[in-house]
Amino acid sequence: MSLIVVGSMAFDDIETPFGKSNRIIGGAATYIALAASQFIRPVNQISVVGYDYPQEELAELERFGVNLEGVQIKKDRKSFFWAGKYHMDMSARDTLVTELNVLSDFDPVIPESYQGAEFLMLGNLSPDVQLKVLDRLRERPRLIVMDTMNFWMDTALEALHRVVARVDVLLVNDAEARQLSGEFSLVRAARKILGEMGPKYLVIKKGEHGALLFHGNTVFCAPALPLEDVFDPTGAGDTFAGGFTGHVARTKDISFENLKTAIIVGSAMASFCVERFGTQRLREIQLSDIHTRIRQLADLVQFDIDFN
């Protein structure tokens, strides 16, 4: 009963320089849950899908230890659909289609069995929905992690600030940290967000350049694995979040030291995610693959200081 994951479940059309995928399974909560399930089960999912969401995909999630009691199935509506196209450098993408469908009026219901969860991962979603989840939990989880994106800063900034004020860890990318703080320097952005907005920890995701974890006046810099090809970046940020919260929920340790390790776990998980289209790679990997990759990340930054 330890980890609750909130977010979208979706169909994605994805086009990258390496190819196209057609109506594959996606959504923030799907990526988060698949990544977190490597470390903790059950993952208590809160989401919504339509009649068109394949039964076998739900069964597959259950095999990964994802508890779907909190996933509403709307019999007369279609699932959330997103289509996007990546540019050559893979760090920029165009959204071609967004059909909110069931997501447009998503009213999250928290099953009684989810109450009392120690850890909460609020995946990228409307701040209003994120707020509803917070309001409907009778006990505050020990650690609340929140992902968001620039879209909500543009369209729902006030509600977004109300969520941010109530979470422990905020995950954003570098451009979003700049937008939210109005500061160009990431160090200044972090000081403002941590000093004035509520969270105790700020994670700034920088894609191929790794991630930064800010806490008080301390910074931790996590590398990203240098990859030969990034096949499809979709879901990499969600997968990072899933690895991060999965590790924390497994170890039940919310110290700064352990959050640093959690960032490394997140970075390792994200490095798998981008190797194939959609969630494919996340369904193939074993814990031993993950440990190997974490060891690679450790080796990547290891050096001797020689003052002699």
Residues in touch with a copy of itself (CB under 8 A): 88-89, 184-188, 206, 208-210, 212, 219-223, 226-230, 251, 257-258, 260-261, 263-264, 291, 294-295, 298, 300-308
Q: How far is the CB of 243 from a copy of itself (least distance, A)?
A: 13
Residue number, 77 or 293, with CB nearest to a copy of itself: 293
Q: How far is the CB of 283 from a copy of itself (least distance, A)?
A: 22
Q: Minimum distance from CB of 141 to a copy of itself (Å)?
A: 21
Cis peptide before 223 (omega within 30 of 0): no
Minimum CB separation of residue 223 from a copy of itself in Å reads 4
Beta-carbon-side half-sphere exposure of residue 130 (alpha carbons within 13 Å): 29
Least Å distance between CB 195 and a copy of itself? 13
Spatial CB neighbours of 71, under 8 Å, sequence gap ≥ 6: 9, 45, 46, 47, 48, 49, 58
Tell me the three-class secondary structure of 133-164, residue by residue. HHHHCCCCCCEEEEECCHHHHHHCHHHHHHHH
Between 88 and 97, CB nearer to a copy of itself: 88
Specify whether the CB–CB gap between 43 and 65 falls below 8 A: yes
Pairing of strands 3-6, 10-16: unpaired
Q: Residue 1: how many CA atoms within 13 Å on its side-chain side?
A: 10
Phi, psi of 221 (to 5 degrees): -115, 115
Which one, 158 or 307, has the nearer CB to a copy of itself? Answer: 307
Shortest CB 239 distance to a copy of itself, Å: 19
Sheet holding 19-26, edge to edge: 19-26, 10-16, 80-86, 93-99
135: CB partners within 8 A, 6+ apart: none
Q: Which two tokens stand for residue 284?
A: 């193939």
Work out how close the CB of 301 gets to a copy of itself at its nearest, in angstroms, rounded to a whole number.
4
**Residue among 61 and 90 whose Cβ is closer to a copy of itself:** 90
Q: Which is nearer to a copy of itself, 99 or 208 (CB)?
A: 208
Shorter beta-carbon distance to a copy of itself: residue 125 or 222: 222
Structure token pair of residue 271: 């490095």
Is 19 or 54 the residue whose CB approaches a copy of itself more closely?
A: 19
Taking the complex as a whole, the smallest distance from the CB of residue 262 to a copy of itself amounts, in Å, to 9
Is residue 168 within 8 Å of 201, Cβ to Cβ? yes
What is the maximum alpha-carbon separation in the chain? 72
Nearer to a copy of itself, 158 or 226 (CB): 226
